[in-house]
Chains A and B, each alone.
Chain A
Amino acid sequence: MLALIGAGAAFEAWAYGLWRARSPGEGLYPFMAALAVLVLATTSLVQTVNGRADATLAGDEGDAGPPQWRKIGLYLAGLVALAALLPVLGYWIVTAAALILILRGAKRLSWRLTITVTAATALVTYLVFERLLGLALPRSTLF
């Protein structure tokens, strides 16, 4: 994936122009970075295929074993819906929906705990961001 991104970025950067009037053009620096990504990603892929890149990443105890795709799917669905609906429905509705989806759907918490956490989150964020810091949380554009 990174190799493809590097190749695409290098192609795009080439179009920006690499050199102009005795100085680097807009595309030189991103072209070099994209080329480095392409080469290194390809090298890394080859090493992985050959079984040589088997580093252990510190602190990755959460990654042990195959991923729980259902949980990830619900988590991501909640987050994607949150980002997409935030400007439409506003912070309060979207937060409640996302938290219910994650806590009840993905984490299988009881309704009592789900509602308690959702309400507490709403209260804390309101107090900290709107009252204390004066930041306006996203409002709905519909109502």
Chain B
Amino acid sequence: MTDILANAALGFGIALSWNNLLFCLIGVTLGTAIGVLPGLGPAATIALLLPITYRMDAIASLILLAGIYYGAMYGGSITSILVKVPGEGASVVTCLDGYAMARKGRAGAALGLSAFGSFIAGVIGTIGVFLLGPPLAAVALAFGPAEYAALVIVGLVLVTHVAQSTMTASLLMIAAGLLLATLGVDPIYGTERFTFGQLDLFDGIPVAILAMGLFGVAELLSVASSRSGVPKPLAQPSRVRELLPSREEWRQSAPAIARGTGLGFFLGLLPGGGALIASFASYVIEKRLSRHPEQFGQGAPAGVAGPESANNAAAQAAFVPLLSLGIPANVVMGVMMGGLLIQGIQPGPRLLETRPDLYWAVICSMLIGNAMLVILNVPLISIFVQLLRIPFAVLSPLIIMFCVIGAFSLRNSAFDVALMIAFGVAGWAMRRAKYDPAPLVLAFVLGDILERSVRQALLVGQGSPAIFLQRPISAGLLALAAALLAWPAVRWLQHRSRRLADGKGGARGEAERALGVPPSAPPLPGASLKHPAP
């Protein structure tokens, strides 16, 4: 206990200096702006700012860069909620219910839940890092390629529960996402795959291009193609009180925030797609535990609060493997690690001994940064909501141009703009055919991790797939995935046998209602899936 207090005193003493407070503020503000703007991501921004940090103090530079990272998590949800354009991969899930809440005139409440949920998760996550970080980091060492592959498979199974179309359509979208992820250079042998000689495709498809196309451009085309050419009018709140979450929305969201925080913190410790998996794992869990799962996808507050809390908690926890083990959890951490190495600082187990000031100052600055973010974002909610009053005929071209610039700025390539537009057309066609693009994007992000992990595991196991069952964590995760996959079929068989035993005929839906079974029980492939009106 004395050690914890001493570390806290050391950390806050450094983090609360005027210089470090200023850089923390700059970092979170810039991060929020980066998160809002589609296409630009924290990794690119941090890479752009690295040369500036050469002349800065190591602690200040890391505080600045860290602020950009978790600030982007806050900002990414804003465009997801207001215009259904995810600013970050982890904000894709927020599009599902956040945008639906905005359509119902509850944009302010959605933004508020996102901001406060992220703040609570950020604070608890940071405290968790403080207290449990170094010991828990050792758990991450137990995860090898086989375990990561199994974890991603669990994630892909969870994706089927996020999707809002039939099981067949969801699986098709997942397969399409996995196939798209193979485009580019083979990760093991370096061979070109599906590039057809196009240089711009050697590095694969940036996820931002895919997300902006399938969500942003497709949404605009969808509205443009409708008879009225505008989305249904939004009910706009007029009083400040109505802009924030109601008591009932808080009541529904509080457990989701708590669960999302725990889930996000644990998954964020794992190098890989922790934040992304955490956000939609949280969504699936909340949908499963909800008494009204049919409301998910229609504007359920827990569908916003849970995933946003999870991805922010994961963002805090991602610093643990970087600082304690020297293992970057994702691309952003990798770039930050580069910055540390340039400053002559070696992240890893000895960092706590050699530079305890840096370690604890960065952790403490995350608490301060989260407070700054909620102070910055909450008063802006009313301004963000006013953006929805702009006529859609004026707003849509602005969104398109921002997407175009965002797409171009990734690699200074007009090809990326063309690619985004092509995905936009594909996304529009998918919507008309009742295919949900969310599973495709999520599978796309996980696909690369899955392939690398599977192939590395098979290399370790000398070509034998038995390695996945020989390692206990991997075997356990695969068993979980099998159970999650089989569960809907088991429930369907149970309902069917009860219906036959009762001798009641009629539609499946009538039988479910009679038995008190939630109507969201996933159907078998091919069965229809209609969500009753809330």
Name A residues whose Cβ lies closer than 8 Å to a Cβ of B: 2, 6, 9, 12-13, 16, 22-27, 29-30, 33-34, 36-37, 40-41, 43-44, 47, 52-65, 67-69, 71-72, 75-76, 79-80, 82-84, 86-87, 91, 95, 98-99, 102-103, 106-107, 109, 113, 117, 121, 124-125, 128-129, 133-138
- Across the interface, do B401 and A2 meet the contact criterion of CB distance under 8 Å? no
- B260 proximal to A (CB < 8 A): no
Name which of B263-271, B417-425, B490-498 contacts chain A. B417-425
Nearest CB of B to A7, in Å: 12
A44-B172, A63-B222, A79-B421 as given contacts; A68 in contact with B229, CB under 8 Å:
yes
Which residues of chain B come closer than 8 Å to A6, judged between CB atoms? 175, 179
A43-B168, A55-B165 as given contacts; A67 in contact with B432, CB under 8 Å:
yes
Which residues of chain A come closer than 8 Å to B418, judged between CB atoms? 80, 83-84
- Across the interface, do A83 and B417 meet the contact criterion of CB distance under 8 Å? yes
- Across the interface, do B231 and A47 meet the contact criterion of CB distance under 8 Å? no
- Cα distance, A68 to B228, chains bound together (Å): 9
Which residues of chain B come closer than 8 Å to A75, judged between CB atoms? 220-221, 224
A36-B175, A57-B436, A138-B408 as given contacts; A52 in contact with B222, CB under 8 Å:
no
- Across the interface, do A56 and B232 meet the contact criterion of CB distance under 8 Å? no
Could you tell me which residues of chain B, from 66 to 104, have a CB within 8 Å of some CB in chain A? 96, 99-100, 103
Nearest CB of A to B466, in Å: 14
- Across the interface, do B451 and A29 meet the contact criterion of CB distance under 8 Å? yes
Q: Tell which of B40, B164, B226, B396 touches A64, judged by Cβ atoms closer than 8 Å.
A: B226
Nearest CB of A to B158, in Å: 18
- Cα distance, A87 to B405, chains bound together (Å): 12
- Cα distance, A57 to B219, chains bound together (Å): 13
- Across the interface, do B225 and A71 meet the contact criterion of CB distance under 8 Å? yes
Which residues of chain A come closer than 8 Å to B417, judged between CB atoms? 82-83, 86
B interface majority secondary structure: helix
Closest to A20 in B: B189
- Cα distance, A16 to B194, chains bound together (Å): 10
- Across the interface, do A47 and B179 meet the contact criterion of CB distance under 8 Å? no
Nearest CB of B to A122, in Å: 9
Which residues of chain A come closer than 8 Å to B432, judged between CB atoms? 63, 67
Nearest CB of B to A112, in Å: 12
- Cα distance, A102 to B171, chains bound together (Å): 36
Q: A58-B164, A99-B401 are in contact. List 15 more A-B contacts (CB 8 A).
A: A9-B194, A23-B459, A24-B455, A34-B179, A40-B175, A52-B527, A53-B169, A55-B529, A56-B434, A60-B222, A62-B231, A63-B432, A82-B421, A113-B394, A134-B48
Could you tell me which residues of chain B, from 157 to 171, have a CB within 8 Å of some CB in chain A? 164-166, 168-169, 171
Name B residues whose Cβ lies closer than 8 Å to a Cβ of A: 37, 40, 48, 96, 99-100, 103, 164-166, 168-169, 171-172, 175-176, 178-179, 182, 186, 188-189, 191, 193-194, 217, 219-227, 229, 231-232, 297-298, 393-394, 396-398, 400-402, 404-405, 408-409, 412, 414, 417-418, 421, 424-425, 431-432, 434-436, 447, 451, 454-455, 458-459, 462-463, 525-531
A83-B417, A83-B421, A121-B401 as given contacts; A47 in contact with B408, CB under 8 Å:
no
Nearest CB of A to B406, in Å: 9
- Across the interface, do B401 and A68 meet the contact criterion of CB distance under 8 Å? no
Q: Tell which of A53, A57, A95, A106 touches B168, judged by Cβ atoms closer than 8 Å.
A: A53
- Residue of A24, A37, A52, A137 with highest tally of chain B CB at under 10 A: A37
Instruction: Supply 13 A–B pairs (Cβ within 8 Å), ascending by A.
Output: A44-B169, A54-B530, A56-B531, A57-B165, A57-B434, A76-B221, A102-B396, A107-B229, A121-B398, A128-B37, A129-B405, A135-B405, A138-B412
A29-B451, A40-B171, A62-B231 as given contacts; A76 in contact with B405, CB under 8 Å:
no
Nearest CB of A to B233, in Å: 11
Nearest CB of A to B331, in Å: 19
Q: Tell which of A76, A113, A125 touches B401, judged by Cβ atoms closer than 8 Å.
A: A125
